[in-house]
Amino acid sequence: MDARRASRGAPVTDTVRVRFAPSPTGKLHIGGARTALFNWAYARRHGGKFLLRIEDTDPERSTKEYERAILAGLRWLGIDWDEGPDVGGPYAPYHQAQRIDRHRAAAQAMLARGEAYRCFCSHERLDAMRAEQEVEHQASAYDQRCRAVPLAEAERRAAAGEPFVVRFRVPQGSTSLVDHVRGDVTFQNAEVDDWIMVRSDGNPTYNFVVVCDDVDMRITHVFRGEEHLINTPKQVLLYRAMGAKPPEFGHLPLMLGTDRKKLSKRTGDTALQDYQEKGYPKDAVVNFLCLQGWALNGTQEIFSLDELVRNFDIADVSKAGAVFDIDKFRWLAGEYLRKEPIETLLDHCAPFAVSAGLVKAEELASKRAWLASVLAAEKERMHVYSDFPARIAYLFAKDDELPYEPDAEANARKHGTRAALLADFAAWLAPRLAAGEASASLRDAMKAWLQERKAKMPELLQPLRCALSGRAGGPDCFDMIAWLGPERSRARIASAVRRLA
């Protein structure tokens, strides 16, 4: 039966148990976040359990800081877990390093059963062997020399202190795995290396512990990146050797950089945190991540976490790698940003204005209404929260030193009447502002005023826009006047009369 067919609808077997098993040796990779999301969605869709396990077996590079950041990142996305390092569960502990006794026992048992064997070959011999294989254009694999060492002799040599690793004894035949993304895949065992299960320092390796823990935690489905596909026959063989039923798999397409290679720092930000720090709305991140390899129905691009859960199926995930399209991501971010209620949006954007030095944190409360008014107008031009300070910086410039963008100044200078008209407008405007006339009313009055003078709108408004903001585009001029207030508006126009003369 084709696995991709079989997975449609609710599984008829045991309760689904899936996991995400990050290694706390760095920030959460954006591809890892998607893997977590798909695993989580699958569990929620099928009423199963989603668990988190920390693969901290590399003590050199693992840190608690990274672990905390990874958990925080997942929570930020809206992913929760039923079992994990912080919430516990029936198969605790959920830190891989704490399960070492179990791993050692499993290795010992396999050694005793002959499923694994000690290998005493030196690094030098292994290196020489690899070099030779490379010359011969062969796959690099252990030549199985130590398979021939009798168990008794191996134990004697080990007891005598001779260093050794434990290798898996790959049987003959072929190995198939159930893959819900790709369809079933078969490998010839002759192509599978007698891989190392336990290092010479006694620590188990990834391929070994991941299977031990997945067996112990009753994992039913393993969905992970395609780079793991080639490891999978080793793991399937190990399940069998341990007397366990292998789970079903799903190897997710890689997320690619613009060079069509596995996404790396070379072609853009790779950490989830990078996007959080740049102010991408989290729902946009979730939505975009889903779009990399999965589609709701082919026409609806924007959907919620809830819609994902209701519609997600691992069999619908694409097989081909997806180039990370930052343009589409920014578009999506803008869509979500604009949908936010203004108060919420301000909460998200304000910190960026503070860190840019435009506003002091303690001023936030007193300036809140003003900032909200500005943001409500400027959000049309924003994609991510961090766009905010650059959008509003002109409001904080010194009035007589406002930088004019070249395009803005060029637009203003197209009009020969600019200085005179601006000066007249200033005289017209002053008493009205003093009287507290509202923006909408000013706008209408300005149109009538221009008509009397037989002047077109751009003739006034382009120089005025330059005077007020120094920018070629932006919000309505009378909104800007309202934000700046009478005195600063007057000062900026007066300054422009001189500077644009």
Partner RNA sequence: GGUCCCAUCGUCUAGCCCGGCCUAGGACACCAGGUUUUCAUCCUGGCGACAGGGGUUCAAAUCCCCUUGGGAUCACCA
Question: Closest CB to RNA among 121 and 355?
Answer: 121
3-state secondary structure of 3: helix
3-state secondary structure of 60: coil
Question: Closest CB to RNA among 96 and 276?
Answer: 96
Q: Which one of residues 110, 322, 375, 426 is an interface residue with RNA (CB under 7 A)?
A: 322
Question: Closest CB to RNA among 319 and 499?
Answer: 319
- Say how far apart CA 424 and CA 7 lie, in whole Å: 75
Is residue 337 within 8 A of residue 382, CB to CB? The reply is yes
- Please choose, out of 35-43, 101-109, 267-275, 471-479, the segment that lies near RNA by the rule CB under 7 A: 471-479
- Say how far apart CA 340 and CA 342 lie, in whole Å: 6
How many residues sit in the footprint of RNA (CB under 7 A)? 89
Positions in 202-231 near RNA (CB under 7 A):
203, 205-207, 226-231
Q: Count CB neighbours of 260 within 10 A.
A: 10
Q: Which one of residues 462, 463, 466, 481 is an interface residue with RNA (CB under 7 A)?
A: 462
Residue 330, classified by CB atoms within 10 Å of its CB into exposed (0-12), middle (13-18) or buried (19+), is middle
Positions in 5-24 near RNA (CB under 7 A):
5, 23
Is residue 223 within 8 A of residue 18, CB to CB? The reply is yes
Least distance (Å) from RNA to the CB of residue 366?
Answer: 27
81 binds RNA (CB under 7 A): no
- Say how far apart CA 203 and CA 11 lie, in whole Å: 37
Q: Which one of residues 191, 306, 400, 444 is an interface residue with RNA (CB under 7 A)?
A: 191
Q: Count CB neighbours of 188 within 10 A.
A: 11
Question: Closest CB to RNA among 46 and 391?
Answer: 391
373 binds RNA (CB under 7 A): no
80 binds RNA (CB under 7 A): no
- Please choose, out of 184-192, 393-401, 416-424, 484-492, the segment that lies near RNA by the rule CB under 7 A: 184-192
Least distance (Å) from RNA to the CB of residue 307?
Answer: 15
Token duo for residue 405: 């963008």
Positions in 89-128 near RNA (CB under 7 A):
96, 122-123, 126
Q: Which one of residues 320, 365, 435, 448 is an interface residue with RNA (CB under 7 A)?
A: 320
Q: Count CB neighbours of 196 within 10 A.
A: 18
295 binds RNA (CB under 7 A): yes
On the CB side of 159, CA atoms within 13 Å amount to 6
Token duo for residue 118: 């000690």
Question: Closest CB to RNA among 51 and 291?
Answer: 291
145 binds RNA (CB under 7 A): no
Is 261 known to be catalytic?
no
Token duo for residue 283: 């729902």
Q: Which one of residues 31, 247, 293, 389 is an interface residue with RNA (CB under 7 A)?
A: 293
349 binds RNA (CB under 7 A): no
Q: From the candidates 64, 261, 265, 456, which is the catalytic residue? A: 265
- Say how far apart CA 393 and CA 391 lie, in whole Å: 6
55 binds RNA (CB under 7 A): yes
Question: Closest CB to RNA among 132 and 361?
Answer: 132
- Say how far apart CA 168 and CA 186 lie, in whole Å: 19
- Please choose, out of 44-52, 69-77, 135-143, 359-367, the segment that lies near RNA by the rule CB under 7 A: 135-143
Kindly give the residue spans of alpha helices, DSSP state H, lying in 362-455.
368-378, 388-392, 406-413, 418-434, 439-452
* Cα dihedral sign, 95-101-102-106: positive
- Please choose, out of 148-156, 416-424, 469-477, 489-497, the segment that lies near RNA by the rule CB under 7 A: 469-477
Q: Which one of residues 114, 183, 403, 485 is an interface residue with RNA (CB under 7 A)?
A: 183
Is residue 288 within 8 A of residue 332, CB to CB? The reply is yes
Q: Which one of residues 269, 274, 335, 424 is an interface residue with RNA (CB under 7 A)?
A: 335
Positions in 237-276 near RNA (CB under 7 A):
253-254, 256, 259-262
- Say how far apart CA 480 and CA 461 lie, in whole Å: 12
30 binds RNA (CB under 7 A): no
SS (H, E, C) 398-422: CHHHCCCCHHHHHHHHCCCCHHHHH
Return the active site residues: 265
